[in-house]
Amino acid sequence: MNAENTSKLFKDFPSLYKGHLKPPTENLMCFGFECGDGWFELIYELSKKITEIDPNCEAVQIKEKFGGLRFYVGASSKEVLNLIHDYEDKSYYICMKCGSTENVIQYKMGWVIITLCSNCIIKVKKIRGE
């Protein structure tokens, strides 16, 4: 995720993302959000809901894995964990590069799987020379 979106999330949800100031031995948020900007709105909405439900919840790592969002937190309520699960499921229908919800698929590049819309797939193929 780009620096502007990362900064906005850290600024708007300081309690949830306080781990970004900790060393990697304590919290992996020091690496930022390890996914594309297309999921910014999804993550922002989820962050807002989490902080409303549990203001003490702390994110440990947020990344893309196997084409889907992974949002790891420390100890939290079942309600927060269920919410996270719902948003992780939603990520499979949103292009992680541009945020489009049209013509989205899990695109395979060897052993890597990413969730992209058809327009972003064309761009990736051009970059890769396919």
Six token digits for residue 54: 């549990």
Amino acid 129: pLDDT: 79
pLDDT number for residue 12: 98
Identify the pLDDT of residue 104: 97
How are the residues of the chain apportioned to helix, strand and coil, as percentages rounded to the nearest 5?
A: 50, 20, 30
pTM for the predicted model, two decimal places: 0.94
Stretch 23-49: mean pLDDT, rounded? 97
Helix (H, G, I), strand (E, B) or coil at 44: helix
Domain boundaries, the chain: 3-94
